[in-house]
Structure formats: structure tokens, C-alpha cells
Amino acid sequence: MSEDCLYLNVFAPDSAHNKTVMVWIHGGGFISGSTVLYDGSILAARHDVIVVSIAYRLGIFGFLSANGSLLPGNYGLHDQVLALQFIKDNIQGFGGNPDNVVLFGQSAGAISVGYHLISPLSRHLFRRAILQSGNPLVPLMLTGRNTQTMAANDVIRDLCPLLVTNETQEVTEAGVSCLRRANASLLTDSFFKVFYSRLGSFAPIEDNDFFGEHPQELVDKKQFFDTKEILIGTDVEEGASFASYGPLGKFRRSDRIDANFTRQTLVQTFNETLPPEMRPFIEAVLDYMLSDVENTSDPKEVWKRYVEIVGDVVFVCSDLQFINQYSASNQTVFYYRFRPKPKFQALGPKWATGAVHSEEVAFVFGMPVVVQKMYTLREIALSEALMTVWTRFAKTGNPNDAWLPYSQSQPLYMSFDVDSSHMTQGFPGFKCDDYYAETMAKVREFARSGQRLIPPGLPRKLVARFVIICGILVSWENQLLMSSILFTEPLVDAPEAESWAATKTAEHKR
């Protein structure tokens, strides 16, 4: 294992000169992911842009931090800033325009893009942004010093037991020396031991350098340092994969839902998973979220709402908070929902009826155009349309003439599907109201406190299954997609597919 990971990949069309530059930041929960999983050559060649994918340190290597100045943290975010500065300084040598750099990312990559929108260190390094399933307000992705200090002391105690007597003590020089002596494999092993039980550990941290203030406070102040158009959105069933791989996944297998899955099952599972201090609060939240479900003993009804809750609480409602503030500061927001369940779905649960978390990534990078046997003609056409929309937005700030901006007074969004794509009125989130904002504020305070999310007695395998699989879901799906290119023959001749795609792209534009 090596810590040498800070590379970037540049995909440029032939004879490039002064081209728009699209910088991709990968997802993976800040614990996994890689630039090699994303091939930018299709976007670059077919749509005349330069695509750059950047790497950054992850997990304990990118986000170990503690009280005091010895472990300031956010190294992974600073890696991203360094990459953006390198691109700004050198992209002309690859035929790119340093004054038209556009960030795009998915999941933790989109959260990173959101952080750069509000960071004083990044404001001069790009022009506009695309955020796919993520924003700077996604809950539990950014925590306080107490949590991080306790996690750091847990790691030091694991590697050098005699150096830590109190988990809240400041990390010492001796503790840092202990960490520096350990090789990458030992640090990784210790990271996973601690990561399972500390809510929000080894993640971006509010600081006085990269952020200056908590992202929520910066967003509330409309602290957007430059005028930038943004394109942002989610998949229609964001919560499906997280629900399937989480502690409650055992109740859902293919089309069958366990008859014992009721409101009480939800409450009992959360009570077994969460510390006692959070249980009354979580039960009240579940009561509120399930208040309009007619029969909370009906497994299908409760499961459907559970999936909605997971997706909306994590992604959709925080999107709404963010874009309401962003659009209110006279900045342009284009919102979307990606709906189709594709013919090829690498890791999404079979029971999902629509697009799950990360589903649109393959379409944005043109995988259906290349791996035609794994997709339908309509899916190929939708991929062409998405590539056209994404790159036109990158070049001009306007995805297409039919796509109207979002505002609080006119909450419009583009609904992407294989049959048709059209503007839709009304925000899609479920119960994204003041109660949600109050709930997330309490969750943030709990995360800042450094308390353990997982009781010590809970089987580690159960926690690992949820945390790790969710963290690497995007990486695995894209790895499967990229590997399949080497072994798959086209379903139809390229000219026929391109003709169909061109027709459908024109329809999407209209």
C-alpha cells in the first residue's frame, strides 16, 4: 500500500485550443474512490471539452484531525485546492481555457464542489459548478473538533496504548510521532476500527482556514464569493441503495418485504443501533415522518416511506435548503431529477423502480454510448442528451433553452427520463420543512459532541456492511462499467446508434 496518490488525468480533444475545462471530483464518502474509474475521453472527444479528473487523500490520510495545531485536518480538501490551482496555472498547455474551469462531482465529490463554492481558498479557481447528489449542507459529512479529537485519540490508543489516558485530551507530539511511525496498512486497519463507531469521524471539519465558519452559517449569510451558475440535482430513489445495504436491508429481498417490517421494526432497529441519548429524539422524528402513512403496520407502505426518508433527509432536503439560499442571492440555479432505472444496474437493489444513488454518472460519462449491449437505444439517447446538456452548461452557463432556472417563487426542475425529459413544477422533497431544519441542527450538535453512534456491543459486521458498502457504492459501479467496456460488443452498429441518439437529443433539447 502506498500513500502516493496525488495525480490528475487530462482528457483533451485533438487540436484543443482555449477549450472549456470540466474538472471531475469523485465520490465515495471521503473514504474510497479513484480517478481511474472515470474515463473522460468520451465527453472530451464528442463534446469538444477538456475533462480533468483529480485525486485527493481519503479516510485517515485525508481527514485525520484534532484539537490544537498538530493535526489541522482537511488535507483532502487542500489536495483538491492544489489540483485546481495547478489546473488554473497549467491547463493552457493542454489547450484549455483557465478562465472557464467548471467543477462537477457526485456524492462526496458534489459535496466537495459545494464546499469550494463557499471556501475563500477556492473562489478564484473556477467559474461554475455541477453538483450530482450532493451539496455543502449534506448532514453528517462535516463535524466538529471534539469528534475528530476523540477519533484521533482512538487511533493513537490502538497503535500506542500508553500515550492516551483520556479520549478528550489534546493530541500530543508523542501521539503524532506514533502515527508517523506507523505504515499505511496499520493506519488503515486502525482507521476502520474507529470509523465504525465514531459518528462523522475522518471527514471534513469546520476550520478557520478552508471554511472560516461552518458551511451552514456561510450559506445562511449567502456567502458565495463569486457569481456562479450551478446545475444541481438528485436521482429519484436516492435512498434505495442505502436502505438496502443498511441494518434494515434484511427485511427486503427482491420483490418480497418481510411481513414483520412495520413502524415498530423501524423504531426497534434504530434503538438497537443508536446510543440511548438519541433514541427518544429519533422515535419522535419517525412518528413525524410516518404521520401521513395510513397503515403503519403495512410493510409495503412503511418500506416505501423509509426509502423516501433516507433519500430526502440526506440529499433532497439539504438540496432545497442550499438552492433556496443560493437562488435568493441573485445566482442562477438549474435543478434536475434523474428518473430511469437502466437495463444495466450494477449494484442498485433489484426492487428499485427508478434511478438509485450514482445512477446518472454512467450516463454523464457516456458509458451507454460505448457499452451499447448493456443499454437500450433510448438509454443511449438519454446519455447523449445528458452529455450535451452538461457540456453546454459548462461552456455557456445555460444547459438548454427549455430548461428554466429554479427559484423559491417558481420551484421548477428538469425531469430526465428515457421517454421524455420535461420541466416540472414543485420541489420533489418529502417534508423538507422547518421541522427538517430543526432536526438536522440537533443531529449536527450530536455529531459535534463526539459521542459514539454505534454502541460498543453492536456486531461490527452489521455496521461495516452499511458504512463501507454505502461509501464505495459509486466506485464499484463505475469499476464494473469501465471493466465491461473491454469485453462487450456493440448492440447495434455505431452509425445507427448515433442516428437514433441524434434524433432523441434534438427531442430532449426541445
Q: Is 201 a catalytic residue?
A: no
Residue 468 has pLDDT above 80, yes or no: no
Q: Is 277 a catalytic residue?
A: no
**Cell for 490?**
456493440
Report, as an integer, the average pLDDT of 256-277. Answer: 80
Residues 354, 246: Cα–Cα separation, whole Å: 19
32, 65, 107, 421: the catalytic one is 107
Write down the pLDDT at residue 2: 66
Rank 21-25, 262-266, 366-370, 417-421 by mean pLDDT and report only the highest: 21-25
Report, as an integer, the average pLDDT of 47-73. Answer: 93
Report, as an integer, the average pLDDT of 409-433. Answer: 89
66-80, 166-180, 320-334, 387-401: segment of lowest average pLDDT: 166-180
Q: How confident is the model at residue 242 (pLDDT cuts 50, 70, 90)?
A: confident
CA dihedral (327, 128, 216, 25) in degrees, to 10, reads 140
206, 229, 237, 238: the catalytic one is 238
Residue 147 has pLDDT above 90, yes or no: no
Is 105 in a helix, a strand, or coil? Answer: strand
For 175-216, write each residue's pLDDT tens digit: 999 999 999 999 999 998 888 777 678 999 989 899 998 898
Residue 234 has pLDDT above 70, yes or no: yes
Rank 159-168, 311-320, 340-349 by mean pLDDT and report only the highest: 311-320
Query: Smallest Cα–Cα separation from 380: which of 510, 494, 232, 489?
Result: 494
Is 117 in a helix, a strand, or coil? Answer: helix
Write down the pLDDT at residue 254: 66
Query: Smallest Cα–Cα separation from 262: which of 239, 292, 290?
Result: 290
Rank 77-81, 472-476, 505-509 by mean pLDDT and report only the highest: 77-81
357, 358, 379, 477: the catalytic one is 357
**CA 330-334-335 angle, 5° bins:** 125
Rank 42-56, 67-81, 447-461 by mean pLDDT and report only the highest: 42-56
Rank 18-27, 32-41, 189-198, 445-454 by mean pLDDT and report only the highest: 18-27
Average pLDDT of the chain?
A: 84
Ordered by start, the domain boundaries in the chain are: 8-250+287-509
At 20, give phi and psi (nearest 5°).
Answer: -60, 140
Report, as an integer, the average pLDDT of 70-89. Answer: 97
Q: What percent of the chain has pLDDT over 70?
A: 84
Q: Is 449 a catalytic residue?
A: no
Q: How confident is the model at residue 67 (pLDDT cuts 50, 70, 90)?
A: confident
Is 3.40.50.1820 the CATH number for 8-250+287-509?
A: yes
Write down the pLDDT at residue 452: 59
Q: How confident is the model at residue 467 (pLDDT cuts 50, 70, 90)?
A: very low
Task: Using the Cα atoms of residue 476, residue 479, residue 484 and residue 487 in order, give the sign of their dihedral.
Answer: negative
